Structure 1
Amino acid sequence: MRRVERALILAGLCALVAACSSKGYNTDNPDWAQGGMPLPPKVTSTDAEWQESEAPPPPKFDVKRLEPIAMPPYMTLKFGVDPATITITHDGVVRYVVVASNTHNQNGSLNAYYEAVRCSTAEMKSYARFDNGAWEEVKKPEWKSFRDLNSSYSRQLATQGLCRGNAPRDSVKDIVANLRDPARKLQ
């Protein structure tokens, strides 16, 4: 009887593997069993080989379009990202304009930053700062780890919408949907 049970179990496992492979599932992906879920992009280059694409000039932004970034309640600065400024590049970089405003400041001053997040390394880079109505480029922009930053808004933005684990989300539409509902499960 044991032989028959083993043969049936083995046949069942073979059928399961055959069924999964016939539908084009990538079983190297831990999410392979969640049918219909797009696979995150695979990184094929090492960090030494990786080259960042050239950053275009800062895009125009509109404070009326800002999607808020959820921050700890003790923060006096409020942060938001303009969805129209978000781009996902072929090299895995997500660029955007984030706006910081102080709700307690009577003159309603705000600052904006043209930045990028690299999901695969948990780093951000600042290209330019908007202050007094004009962009001022950062002289030597460099990638900085989220752990080394004074403010956590870049990490918050990455986890709330820009990244899906160690990869950028599939589209700007997907990013905006996750920013609007950061408590959503990965879908």
Structure 2
Amino acid sequence: MKFKPASLFACGLLLSLSSAVWAQFAVEDAEWKESEVPPPPAFDVGKLVIFEVSPNSSLVYGVDPASISISKSDGVVRYVMVASSASGARNVMYEGLRCSTGEFKTYARYSPEGRWSMVSDPEWRPLFGNMPSKHALRFAQAGACDNAALPLSVNALVRRLKNPNFGMTP
């Protein structure tokens, strides 16, 4: 996918603005408690919505829309993320995203043998900082979060992933 210099500048500006908005709203709620995490959902690599993480990445990232859930009780977007290489190798992760704090968590990883392996003691990690997760950050910016808020619905999230300009004013 090729981008014009003006669109790259605009994307960079939007990404930096999103970072500032997240930082502004990333005040930890001392009363917050994560709901019980559902088991990893089924996913279909044939139905992935692909999105670009980095123009220089050798991996292609995608999310099966059927795996996405938005928990209003704890404000977490949960999904199955698939990273595929040109050789066909895949990394599959079941993750959660807290839009209000700009954090993500990996709950489980899918093995080549077709089984989920739960992460022991998963922890929330920042989307920004020294070792950010580029795929989780890009997923949040591409539609999984509406700045620091949850998306209105899974359908709205998927529409934004499929059309990065959805909902943006000219």
Contact between 2:126 and 2:132, CA under 8 Å: does it hold in 1? no
Give the aligned partner of residue 164 of structure 1: 146
1:122 aligns with 2:102: yes
CA distance in 2 between counterparts of 1:117 and 1:172 reads: 14
Q: Deviations along 1:123-149, whole A, 9 cap, x unmatched?
A: 000000002121110001110001244
Q: TM-score, normalised by structure 2?
A: 0.78
Following TM superposition, by how much is the alpha carbon of 1:166 offset from its aligned partner in structure 2, in angstroms? Answer: 0.6
Contact between 2:28 and 2:101, CA under 8 Å: does it hold in 1? no
- Distance change in 2, residues 1:76/1:46 (3 Å): closer
Q: TM-score, normalised by structure 1?
A: 0.71
Give the aligned partner of residue 151 of structure 1: 133
Q: Deviations along 1:136-181, whole A, 9 cap, x unmatched?
A: 1000111000124453010000010111111110100000000001
Structure 1 counterpart of 2:63, from 70, 81, 84? 81
Contact between 2:68 and 2:80, CA under 8 Å: does it hold in 1? yes
Contact between 2:43 and 2:67, CA under 8 Å: does it hold in 1? yes
Give the aligned partner of residue 116 of structure 2: 135
Give the aligned partner of residue 76 of structure 2: 93
Give ranges in structure 1 of 5+ residues lacking alignment.
Answer: 1-42
CA distance in 1 between counterparts of 2:146 and 2:100 reads: 10
Aligned amino acid, residue 112 of structure 1? V
CA RMSD after TM alignment: 1.8
Percent identity over the alignment is 45
Give the aligned partner of residue 85 of structure 2: 102
Contact between 1:164 and 1:186, CA under 8 Å: does it hold in 2? no
Higher RCO (Cα < 8 Å, 6 or more apart)? 2
CA distance in 1 between counterparts of 2:95 and 2:82 reads: 11
Of the two, which has the highest radius of gyration?
1
